[in-house]
Structure 1
Amino acid sequence: MTDPFDRTAAPEHASEQAAVLSSEASPGRQAEHAGDRDRDRERERAVDRALAALDLDTKTRLLSGQDMWTLPAVPEIGLKSLVMSDGPIGVRGRHWSAADPSVALPSPTALAATWDPELARRAGHLLAQEARRKGVHVLLAPTVNLHRSPLGGRHFESYSEDPLLTGAIGAGYVRGVQEGGVGTTVKHFVGNDAETDRFTVDNRIAARPLHELYLAPFEHIVRHARPWGIMTAYNQVNGSTMTEHRHLVREVLRGAWGFDGCNVSDWTAARHTVRALRGGLDVAMPGPRTVYGAPLAEAVRAGEVSEAEVDDAVRRVLRLAARTGCLRGAPAAVAPDEVPGGIDGPALARDLACRAFVLLRNEPTQEAATRPADDAPTAAPARPEGRGGRPGILPLDPTALRKVAVIGAVARDARVLGGGSATVFPARIVSPLEGLRAALPAETEVTFALGADPRIRIPQARDGFTLRARYLAEDGRLLAETPQFDGMMHAIGSLPEGVTPHHLHAVELTGTFTPQTTGSHTFAVSGTGALRLTVGGTVVFDEYCAPAGSDPFEGLLNPVERRLSVPLTAHEPTEVTLRYVPRSTSLGETAALNFTLGHREPQRDPDAELDEAVRVAAEADVAIVVVATTNEVESEGFDRTDLRLPGRQDELVTRVAAANPRTVVVVNAGSPVELPWREQVPAVLLTWFPGQEAGGALADVLLGAREPGGRLPTTWPARLEDAPVSGVTPTEGRLEYAEGVFIGYRAWHRSPAPAPAYAFGHGLGYTDWEYESLDTTPDSVRVRLRNAGRRTGREIVQIYLAPKDPAAVERPARWLAGFAAVEAGPGESVEVEIPLPARAFEIWSSASEGSEADAGAAHGSGQTGHWQRVQGDYIVEAAHSLTDRRLTAEVTAV
């Protein structure tokens, strides 16, 4: 089969993702060449030699982390220490510290919004480059759990509500990272679709939805990208924790799908030595104390498990080491001269953001609506919402703007990534305000107003601060000193050279702050332990701060914040020192530090801030309002309770729109939020969490240098109560997936609730497309379309299948069967062929179908089944979105 990433094989102007969607593709495409097969055989021989040289204690030690991020080295067999690191938008490395910055790409929801596996592959190449720079061998990403409910707190870290789109984007990502010689661990296998009680919840998922939805992205990636690792989740599925799920790991993942990689536990997820090994878990993380290591060796000697079972797990660990170049005598999966390099991280981050932005709405302003059509501007015409009609407000003509109002707290202090373990520290962040000021002509006046600040926590100290971190022993000796990017000190897994948890007593963030405003400045401190803040020689805070919350990571990731006010004079530097004595310098036996110095300039009364924003907007040619979620809304460790924008941001938009009809709203959120004012403004642009180059990409799109290229990978409800699935809270420890196969758009089409605000696949560009022809066979479709606008554009051709006899089998009204991106200049036509995978016509038929509670039960004791082709006639729909279907044809499945 044609390589889906071979540009020479694709139709003119068509992107390469079309071919990656065919389920008949061989899972071994990376090893099709004879040279690759030879290297595979040589690698396996080296693994066998290394395994034969190990004693039992060394073997079991290799299955247990030696610390937070690494596996032990065994110099006797030439085995290096294998280093893992969190992703998915960057590579944090072992330090998780601002002293070791990382490129920060847009969020996974943004990557999925590109509908472009090739772009995901390019992102993977960059992340592999970052990993090699930081000495990382395995990236703990991507996350391919589904958007079952919009309340999922980690929604932003997954891709989509659709398993096909999720699998295709994930496969591109995995291929890209591994082509760079770095391993991946696709996570969280399986059913980690919410955060509430994630360590203990038993998700009860019937056989059909388990296979057709939740397992499907993992299967697609295993078959199409051959990942070198899988991470098993904290949660249970149908009565068994995933680190012990023999049926899903051994029989499905390894047996049916042929996965030959390494199975790593989520951090602290492994709970029982024998059940974990027999369930198929290879590595228990983090170390040094886990259920493996010495406890596993004791279990072998006691006859509870065999050494042969241990050997199987060790072989997979050694295979992972060999593939990443960490085993002597074994050729790496990617030769050094084959590794992509020289990638410009900031440039890729900016390009990806532009391609991910989704233009939800783009209407003409009132003035444009009354202007004769012949007087419409000819420069960069935009396509309004709905086909045909007058140009919308976007893109803006920068030469016609005398005064631009930029409004919103996150317009100045950018919200570029989600919270939790996905956090990285970029070397720079371009805010929307900075990006627009840099892009607009010098004579254009850009005014800023806070309007409404949604943040509950005080932002970390940055502007005006020059800081360094000092690591101190109990006797006051200086152990190390490092520069500090901002006021957040976050380190898990390692500390600066010369510093150990045993010797470290305190850390000081110290330096100077030069305020820009006279008045009462708000400082904030957070961390679990003793905190003492000194400003201008005066101790203004000195207390012990206890942890809160039941999640073992809560005190580390989201410590309680304390605030205080300090009067300061503008332009007068003052000394600032925050001394932190942690309750513990370790998480278990792993080095761990997390504390923050926050700062906020003097604030006016909230009503006065809103009034100022309205005044500034009324005086401007255009008002750009940036609204956002916060870390308290979207982060790891908890689910959302509603979909409202925090604070008074809805009020801000409504009042600004009333003051200026030329109002553009930028929505800075990783997952759906309610937009009650969406009909009151001419344009709404969704930027997700846009990564470090947020401001530059935003200016590119708003001013017409780039087209907003994204389409929604998930349905956006108008209100939470309209969402078909909102239950994320277990009852007596169990969460019933009672909706079966009907999540996301699959459920909206059978729900009596009002239509969503924006449908799956929706997104407007700056041109219009006419779909000219659709030809089908049982295996593929060919679509011809024409750019009917006046500028070059990009379209995502979406193919849906709809059974003509929906009553034959209970299925959704339609589902995504394929997609491809095309590009064309004004007036040009383009043709693209998109496979119709066999799986699109199949359902999972299970012997356990009648018992949802037992379907897919643990340890292989309740589920046998197979894929069954549903014969009959289908409507094939070529569409711009789920609800904007342009052409139809019929095909018969036999």
Structure 2
Amino acid sequence: MDYKHVIKQMTLEEKVSLLSGKNFWESQELERLNVPGMFLADGPHGIRRQAAAADHLGLNESIPATCYPTAATVANSWDVELAQEVGTHLGREAASQQVNVLLGPGMNIKRNPLCGRNFEYFSEDPYLTGKMAAAYVRGIQAGGIGAHVSGAPSTSRGIAACIKHFAVNNQETRRMSIDVVVDERTLREIYLTGFEIAVREGRPRVVMSSYNKVNGEYTNENMHLLREILREEWGFQGCVVTDWGGGNERVRGLLAGNELEMPGTGGESNREVLEAVRRGELEEAVVDEALERLLALADETSQALVWKNQKIPRDHHQTACKAAEESIVLLKNQDTILPLDTSKTLAVIGDFAQTPRYQGAGSSRVNPTQLESALDRLESSELRIIGYEPGFHRFGKKSSDLVERACGLAAQADTVLLYLGLDEVSEAEGVDRTSLALPENQLDLLEALVGVHSRIVVILSCGSVIEMPWIDGVSAVVHGYLGGQAGAQAMVRVLLGLVNPSGKLAETYPKTYLDVPSGANFPGGQATVEYREGPYVGYRYFDRQPGGIQFPFGFGLSYTSFEYHDLRVDSRGARFTLRNTGALAGKEVVQLYIQGPGQAVYRPEKELKGFTKVHLEPGESREVHLAFDAYSFRFFNLKKNAWDVESGMYTIFIGASSRDIRLQASLSVQGSDCGNLYDLRSLEPYFTGEVENIEEPTFAALVGRPLPETHWGNRIPMGYNDPLARTKYARGWFGRLTHSLIIFTHWLLWKIGQRDTANLIMMSFYNMPFRGIAKMMGGMVSRRMAEGFLMMVNGHFFKGFTRLITKEKQEKEVEYEYRT
């Protein structure tokens, strides 16, 4: 298709109509010129194309699709080839369901372990995040059904992957209005490097802009992020789509290069663009530039959809099982209680054994093609299962009777398999967690079982970090994270020793939340969240501390053992020999960390700069080579506004985790003289790494400007971009009543057990800005109607009510005129 020629044939109205969605999931087509529309669907770990009513919250059931382990799970595999294989299968299924753009992978950094969406993200480390995300993207975009089904044309194009959420979207609380205050160096090195790797190495066709502001400007209209960095610096040639309802000022978004607004707004955004062009505020050439990218995306992805409704191959479930197996992390194995002895009797306890917790909640929720429970798998194995007890109510209700029955069963068995974890409403899009602890009723059960049994194997099912003050009382801990539809099968195979666990943690496990450096600044104030810890996220902070962690980044045990020796380092990379010294075949994730000279540039103790997963038979040795790359030695030099390398002596570490360093060597690197780059007096905590309680003047010095006001203040008039949470301080009685009703409704729903709906209240109302009310309603609520409601909460009830009603009528008249 000659896109420029097609665009020249369009009227201005037709051009503008293509820049916003047709409905909730589809982009607009133009039949007159054979321009196809596109279907965009959620799916970081499976396709969520809804057959009936559409929503962004995971409420309505979708067409069955393979539910793979979540990104947080697969990240523990540290296996880029496996990630690409999963991506390939995702691409196949998306094409079969006629999905042009798969909205994933999610790749935001796990700044804080309480982020409610951490189950959907890879890691606290940008290098690991970027490499895994790039692999997913390559697989998804090569996995169009046309490239893999017999008889398909060889010229078929793949569907598009959409990496998200760009950028610095590291919390769910007030995600649509929060202003992230972060210094440029931390922004570049921690929060953008993963995206950079994914763009440069994965070459995604689509990037999704996030809801939040970054340093005072919404990301969907942020020229620095979208134009200067994403397009000019990284060379991104694809399309940028807003997160659903995440568009702010549509014209400013277009100027920044945000081509597509989703979902559709009933033509309201189109009118804004049309009027801006006619007034001369927006050049038509900007519209044409956006359209050229959109047409290319629609045309190329549509070529992958010629093979429709293909049956999902059986190997997709097998790949889901393989991904889960490779990602299971063995955290403790006292007295080698695992693999399980098939001659011993077993008691199976825990609700999650019977009803699996296998994926997260919200927009990523997949309707699996099949699902199995751990209990069924255990009972069909050669293990001697004497019985099962749930032990606790899934959503937290206490029951002494359930505990008593579980203890009675446990006393009759040689070993207890105890399935614990977080329920579906504890980890969900739109809300952050409030604690790192397991639910209290599960802790009560665990305490009671420890009192009657000495051989307890805990199997964990949750998508993010938890505290484990109880770990000394149990014999083994196996973490399955959220293993997808085949997770139960994968776990039983590991427990039996049919699979040697090889997963390693992609995030640090602190002993308590009090040890987390960002804890004092999460989720921030009412208007802003300040990243006062700078680059010291996860192990970058903890590796400077003598204690404070339960398990380090990169940690994971095996049923065998490995020996590292003979390290050789040169300008190209590091070489060493790895040997399996145990009696079983196994896989080891070897990790390359680099420590900077530590002279003129503040840095973490060490940073991950390479990794690979190596399979070895018993007694086998292999030479491993980890190459240096463009990311190995660089830092972002603010004075040059560019990446730079500091001259000096670097230390190269090879380890089994960030705290288990097996080999090290030194390497002299030539770069720039970085003397006098920083004022040590004003930034001393960033040189020492003691960033737990950074004072405001120190952080302001790091950011390089005065800090914005972080609180809304009482009784201040609310604005269009304020969330409904701010109605607590509204001038008018109607606003304060609205706030009280939201809070009461949430409390009541939670009390009666409707916790999914309670979470929905917080996500879709409490933390939703007035802007979002209009953007998410597909044109049913206009901006002027939302502004009328805003006038009502600001104390002008009758004036706002009148405006709401009259403007609704006027908008319908204008809409009719526009469409005709």
Sort the TM-score into its range (normalised by shorter chain). 0.7 to 0.9
Q: 1:297 aligns with which of 258, 264, 274?
A: 274
Indicate whether 1:701 and 2:484 are aligned: no
Which amino acid in 2 is paired with 1:241? Y
Between the two proteins, the alignment pairs up a number of residues equal to 647
The answer for the alignment partner of 1:360 in structure 2 is: 331
Task: Return the alpha-carbon distance in structure 1 between the equivalents of residues 306 and 204 of structure 2.
Answer: 17
The answer for the alignment partner of 2:550 in structure 1 is: 757
The answer for the alignment partner of 1:151 in structure 2 is: 114
1:189-338 paired onto structure 2 within 5 Å = 189-289=166-266, 292-325=269-302
The answer for the alignment partner of 1:70 in structure 2 is: 26
Q: 1:785 aligns with which of 563, 572, 578?
A: 578
| Structure 1: unaligned runs, 5 residues or longer | 1-44, 327-331, 365-391, 458-604, 848-863
Task: Return the alpha-carbon distance in structure 2 between the equivalents of residues 335 and 102 of structure 1.
Answer: 19
The SS at the match of 1:215 is: helix
The answer for the alignment partner of 1:21 in structure 2 is: none
Which amino acid in 1 is paired with 2:380? A
The answer for the alignment partner of 2:645 in structure 1 is: 869
Q: 1:802 aligns with which of 567, 572, 595?
A: 595
Shift of 1:47: 2.3
Task: Return the alpha-carbon distance in structure 2 between the equivalents of residues 178 and 414 of structure 1.
Answer: 31
The SS at the match of 2:549 is: coil
Change (3 A) 1:249 1:832: same
The SS at the match of 1:185 is: strand
| Structure 2: unaligned runs, 5 residues or longer | 52-57, 144-157, 671-820
The answer for the alignment partner of 1:844 in structure 2 is: 636
Task: Return the alpha-carbon distance in structure 1 between the equivalents of residues 47 and 429 of structure 2.
Answer: 17
Could you say which structure has the higher helix fraction?
2
The answer for the alignment partner of 1:879 in structure 2 is: 655
The answer for the alignment partner of 1:744 in structure 2 is: 538
Change (3 A) 1:446 1:828: same
The question of whether the paired residues in 2 share the 8 Å contact of 1:724 and 1:751 is answered with no
Which amino acid in 2 is paired with 1:414? P
The question of whether the paired residues in 2 share the 8 Å contact of 1:60 and 1:293 is answered with yes
The question of whether the paired residues in 1 share the 8 Å contact of 2:36 and 2:299 is answered with no
The question of whether the paired residues in 2 share the 8 Å contact of 1:139 and 1:182 is answered with yes
The question of whether the paired residues in 1 share the 8 Å contact of 2:349 and 2:406 is answered with yes
Q: 1:729 aligns with which of 512, 523, 536?
A: 523
Which amino acid in 2 is paired with 1:736? E
Which amino acid in 2 is paired with 1:100? I
The answer for the alignment partner of 1:445 in structure 2 is: 385
The question of whether the paired residues in 1 share the 8 Å contact of 2:411 and 2:452 is answered with yes
Shift of 1:221: 0.7
1:436-515 paired onto structure 2 within 5 Å = 436-440=378-382, 444-456=384-396
Indicate whether 1:84 and 2:40 are aligned: yes
Change (3 A) 1:175 1:99: closer
The SS at the match of 1:271 is: coil
The answer for the alignment partner of 2:513 in structure 1 is: 720
Change (3 A) 1:446 1:77: farther
Shift of 1:343: 6.2
Q: 2:355 aligns with which of 410, 413, 416?
A: 413
Task: Return the alpha-carbon distance in structure 2 between the equivalents of residues 336 and 98 of structure 1.
Answer: 23
Shift of 1:346: 1.2
Change (3 A) 1:342 1:52: farther
Task: Return the alpha-carbon distance in structure 2 between the equivalents of residues 297 and 608 of structure 1.
Answer: 66
Task: Return the alpha-carbon distance in structure 2 between the equivalents of residues 454 and 725 of structure 1.
Answer: 30
Shift of 1:830: 1.3
The question of whether the paired residues in 2 share the 8 Å contact of 1:271 and 1:291 is answered with no
The answer for the alignment partner of 1:600 in structure 2 is: none
Greater Cα offset, 165-174 or 431-440: 431-440
The question of whether the paired residues in 2 share the 8 Å contact of 1:196 and 1:728 is answered with no
Shift of 1:439: 2.2
Shift of 1:772: 2.1
Which amino acid in 2 is paired with 1:359? L
The SS at the match of 1:324 is: helix
1:159-170 paired onto structure 2 within 5 Å = 159-170=122-133
The TM-score, its normalising length taken from structure 2, stands at 0.77
Which amino acid in 2 is paired with 1:625? L
The answer for the alignment partner of 1:423 in structure 2 is: 365
Shift of 1:341: 8.9
Task: Return the alpha-carbon distance in structure 2 between the equivalents of residues 783 and 291 of structure 1.
Answer: 61
Task: Return the alpha-carbon distance in structure 2 between the equivalents of residues 738 and 870 of structure 1.
Answer: 24
Which amino acid in 1 is paired with 2:82? L
* 1:101-149 superposed Cα distances (whole Å, 9 cap, x missing partner): 1211111111110001111100111111111221111001111100001
Change (3 A) 1:882 1:167: same
Shift of 1:711: 0.3
The answer for the alignment partner of 1:820 in structure 2 is: 612
Task: Return the alpha-carbon distance in structure 2 between the equivalents of residues 448 and 193 of structure 1.
Answer: 39
Which amino acid in 1 is paired with 2:631? R
Task: Return the alpha-carbon distance in structure 2 between the equivalents of residues 289 and 760 of structure 1.
Answer: 47
Task: Return the alpha-carbon distance in structure 2 between the equivalents of residues 271 and 773 of structure 1.
Answer: 56
Task: Return the alpha-carbon distance in structure 1 between the equivalents of residues 222 and 99 of structure 2.
Answer: 29
Change (3 A) 1:123 1:743: same
Shift of 1:778: 1.9
The SS at the match of 1:305 is: coil
Change (3 A) 1:877 1:99: closer
Task: Return the alpha-carbon distance in structure 2 between the equivalents of residues 777 and 650 of structure 1.
Answer: 51
Shift of 1:342: 4.6
The answer for the alignment partner of 2:71 in structure 1 is: 108
Could you say which structure has the higher strand fraction?
1
Q: Which is bigger in relative contact order (C-alpha 8 A, separation at least 6)?
A: 1
Indicate whether 1:126 and 2:82 are aligned: no
Shift of 1:659: 2.0
Task: Return the alpha-carbon distance in structure 1 between the equivalents of residues 121 and 61 of structure 2.
Answer: 25
Runs ≥4 residues deviating over 6 A: 334-337
Which amino acid in 2 is paired with 1:174? V
The answer for the alignment partner of 2:462 in structure 1 is: 669
Task: Return the alpha-carbon distance in structure 2 between the equivalents of residues 834 and 645 of structure 1.
Answer: 38
Shift of 1:422: 1.0
Change (3 A) 1:406 1:814: same
Greater Cα offset, 292-301 or 129-138: 292-301
Change (3 A) 1:108 1:99: closer
The question of whether the paired residues in 2 share the 8 Å contact of 1:407 and 1:451 is answered with yes
Task: Return the alpha-carbon distance in structure 2 between the equivalents of residues 801 and 225 of structure 1.
Answer: 24
Shift of 1:224: 0.4
The question of whether the paired residues in 1 share the 8 Å contact of 2:378 and 2:385 is answered with no
Shift of 1:154: 0.6
Change (3 A) 1:323 1:612: same
Indicate whether 1:890 and 2:680 are aligned: no
Task: Return the alpha-carbon distance in structure 2 between the equivalents of residues 453 and 728 of structure 1.
Answer: 30
Which amino acid in 2 is paired with 1:261? G
Shift of 1:629: 0.6
Task: Return the alpha-carbon distance in structure 1 between the equivalents of residues 214 and 432 of structure 2.
Answer: 19
Shift of 1:732: 4.0
* 1:286-314 superposed Cα distances (whole Å, 9 cap, x missing partner): 01436632321222112110110001111
Task: Return the alpha-carbon distance in structure 2 between the equivalents of residues 809 and 336 of structure 1.
Answer: 54
The question of whether the paired residues in 1 share the 8 Å contact of 2:62 and 2:366 is answered with no
Q: 1:680 aligns with which of 473, 476, 480?
A: 473
The question of whether the paired residues in 1 share the 8 Å contact of 2:511 and 2:549 is answered with yes
* 1:692-742 superposed Cα distances (whole Å, 9 cap, x missing partner): 112111110000111122100000011111112223223240111111111
Task: Return the alpha-carbon distance in structure 1 between the equivalents of residues 389 and 408 of structure 2.
Answer: 9
Shift of 1:404: 1.4
The SS at the match of 2:613 is: strand
* 1:173-226 superposed Cα distances (whole Å, 9 cap, x missing partner): 000000111101110000100111101000011011100010111110111011
The question of whether the paired residues in 1 share the 8 Å contact of 2:357 and 2:424 is answered with no
